[in-house]
Structure 1
Amino acid sequence: MKYSGIDLHSNNSVVTVTDEEDRVVAEKRLPNDLAKILALLSPWREELAGVVVESTFNWYWLVDGLQAAGFKVHLANTTAIKKYEGLKHSGDETDARYLAHLLRLGILPTGTILAPEQRAVRDLARKRMQLVRSRTTHILAVENITARQQSARISSNQVKQLTADAVDRMPWPEDVALAVKTNVAVIATLSAQIDLLEKRLQEKVGARTEYGLLTSVPGIGQVLATTILLETGPIDRFAAAGNFASYARCVDSVRTSNGKKKGEGNTKNGNKYLAWAFVEAANFALRYCAEAKRFYERKKAKTNNVVAIKALAHKLARACFHILKERKPFDVTRCFA
């Protein structure tokens, strides 16, 4: 049996094939050309137990190409892999061999490989988040300029409604007005593109049963339901609610010894988009759900605001797991008991 590890970079990859005793039988640095990578692996196709690819920013083309060629591909969860720190030397070749080594031992931390069409919709939701963050930057810029010029802030909704003509009517110096108008123009453009993406996402997920069930949870509206649904993927990949809450970064990451905290674990292991979504949902739930408010106040009385919000986010994450798993509407009594 043979095992392959690929250390993927932006413009090249180190491809390694090892045997059952971790001896290298083939190894080469290749440009990121699918045909050349397949040519190196093809002689070992029938013997390969699998090919490990790092979960880097550019893995889509390689994983899809290898799977289309008939190889069994494993996506390595790089945030969960920690190499032995006593090594005197390491490089791309040793990294590729280490991936193959973990696969041979059966202890390779892996990520889920979604179908290309599912990834495309998920990435569309991430693109929307990127545009919203960019728009917020320009909105804050206009709010700050307004505060400097007239000692009073305007709301974000008022900023979104500003036009070039409205800015011209304000008693500001010409250069200040020009600066604001550039922000207003960018805000208008971003808002139009955000609306376009939201409409497309609604077409893709709005009719799904799980989407409707998620919107029954206090604090979760259309945007958060879309994010949670697309970032979760197949709910069956999580063995229990605790696993899902951990993936959503709603579980503490600590190292203890003799009952004392000695540090933190791997805080980046999980999905940052789900972490954001559940904290946002927790903040909204405080406004509209009396049971959530009471749960938050109990936790806050014993700890502090940050811990209480995180605890509420954890509750909502577990509730969403059961909703997606059991296909049942949200149960307030069960969630905040």
Structure 2
Amino acid sequence: MNYSGIDLHSNNSVVSVIDETDRVVAEKRLPNDLAKILAFLAPWRAGMAGVVVESTFNWYWLVDGLQTAGYVVHLANTTAIKKYDGLKHSGDETDARYLAHLLRLGILPVGTILPARLREVRDLARKRMQLVRSCTSHILAVENITARQYGTRITSNQVKRLDEHAVDQMGLPDNVALAVRANVAVITTLREQIAIVERRLQKEVARHPDYVLLTTVPGIGQTLATVIMLETGTIERFANAGNFASYARCVDSQRMSNGKKKGEGNTRNGNPYLCWAFIEAANFAMHFSTEARLFYERKKARTNSVLARKALAHKLARACFHMLKERKPFDVTRCFA
């Protein structure tokens, strides 16, 4: 049997093929051209146990192309892979071989390869978040300008209602008014695009059973339910609630020895979008659920507000796992028992 590892870069890839004794039988740096990579792998296709692709920002085209060509493809979880630090020399070739080596040994940390259709919708939700962040930065810019000019800042809702005429009525110096108009124009455009994206997302997810279940959780509305559903994928890929909460970055990272904390593990290993969603859900749940508020207050009394909010997010993440696994609506009594 042969095993292949591909060290993927922005414009080229190093493709390595090893045999069952870790001997390199083929290796070459190729441009990011699917046809050339497939042609290079073709002589070993019959005995190829699997191909490992590094999980970088641009893996979609390569993984989809290899799968379409009939290869068994694995997406390496790069944040969970640590190489031996004693090597005097390493490069792209050794990285590609190491991926294939881990696959041969059966100890390769892998990520989930979602179907292309689900990835499209998930990435659209991420695009919405990007647009919202950009819009918020321009709103804050207008607030800061008014604070500098008047000594007090206007609210974000007031900024959202500004138009060309309203800016003219603010009595700002010409150059300052031009800056505000620029911000307002961008805010208007971004809000229009956000509304378009949100309508498409709602059309895509509204009838999904997981989405319907998630909206029964206090603190989780349309936006958060969409993010959690799309970033989670299929709940069956998680063995238990602890694994899901860890993936959502809702658990502590500690390295313990003799009962003492000696450091932390890889805190970045997980999904940052799920982490954000459950923290936001915790913030809203405190306002809309008496049980959630009481749970938060009990934790806060023993720790602090930050840890209490994190504990509530962890509680909601575990509750969502059980709810999606059992296909039952949210049970507040069970969650905060």
The match for 2:47 is 47
- CA distance in 2 between partners of 1:118 and 1:305 (Å): 36
The match for 2:312 is 312
- CA distance in 2 between partners of 1:258 and 1:305 (Å): 29
Q: What is the CA distance between 1:266 and its match in structure 2?
A: 0.5
The match for 1:282 is 282
Amino acid at match of 2:241: A
Amino acid at match of 2:301: A
Q: TM-score, normalised by structure 1?
A: 0.99
- CA distance in 1 between partners of 2:134 and 2:290 (Å): 34
Q: What is the CA distance between 1:324 and its match in structure 2?
A: 1.1
- CA distance in 2 between partners of 1:321 and 1:153 (Å): 42
- The equivalences for 1:177-216 within 5 A come to 177-216=177-216
Amino acid at match of 1:141: A
- CA distance in 2 between partners of 1:300 and 1:114 (Å): 38
The match for 2:21 is 21
1:261 is paired with a residue whose SS is: strand
The match for 1:144 is 144
The match for 2:264 is 264
- CA distance in 1 between partners of 2:154 and 2:320 (Å): 36
1:56 is paired with a residue whose SS is: coil
2:328 is paired with a residue whose SS is: coil
- CA distance in 2 between partners of 1:140 and 1:189 (Å): 16
Q: What is the CA distance between 1:86 and its match in structure 2?
A: 1.1
Q: What is the CA distance between 1:46 and its match in structure 2?
A: 1.1
- The equivalences for 1:91-130 within 5 A come to 91-130=91-130
Amino acid at match of 1:202: Q
* Moved segments of 4+, more than 3 Å: none
- The equivalences for 1:296-311 within 5 A come to 296-311=296-311
In structure 1, list runs of 5 or more residues that go unmatched. none
Q: What is the CA distance between 1:327 and its match in structure 2?
A: 1.1
- CA distance in 1 between partners of 2:240 and 2:4 (Å): 31
- CA distance in 2 between partners of 1:28 and 1:261 (Å): 45
- The equivalences for 1:148-159 within 5 A come to 148-159=148-159
- CA distance in 2 between partners of 1:25 and 1:264 (Å): 39
Q: What is the CA distance between 1:11 and its match in structure 2?
A: 0.4
- CA distance in 1 between partners of 2:171 and 2:67 (Å): 63
Q: What is the CA distance between 1:87 and its match in structure 2?
A: 1.1
Q: What is the CA distance between 1:323 and its match in structure 2?
A: 1.4
The match for 1:82 is 82
- CA distance in 1 between partners of 2:182 and 2:319 (Å): 44
The match for 1:222 is 222
Amino acid at match of 2:202: Q
- CA distance in 1 between partners of 2:303 and 2:48 (Å): 52
More displaced 10-residue stretch of structure 1: 7-16 or 300-309: 300-309
- CA distance in 2 between partners of 1:154 and 1:218 (Å): 31
More displaced 10-residue stretch of structure 1: 20-29 or 296-305: 296-305
1:320 is paired with a residue whose SS is: helix
Q: TM-score, normalised by structure 2?
A: 0.99
- CA distance in 2 between partners of 1:208 and 1:158 (Å): 36
2:270 is paired with a residue whose SS is: coil
1:53 is paired with a residue whose SS is: strand
How many residue pairs get aligned? The number is 337
Amino acid at match of 1:115: P
Q: What is the CA distance between 1:227 and its match in structure 2?
A: 0.1
- Give deviations 1:21-68, integer Å, cap 9, x for gaps: 110000000000111100111111111110000010000000000000
Q: What is the CA distance between 1:148 and its match in structure 2?
A: 1.2
The match for 2:33 is 33
The match for 1:240 is 240
- CA distance in 1 between partners of 2:85 and 2:145 (Å): 50
1:165 is paired with a residue whose SS is: helix
- CA distance in 2 between partners of 1:280 and 1:184 (Å): 27
Amino acid at match of 2:132: V
Amino acid at match of 1:73: V
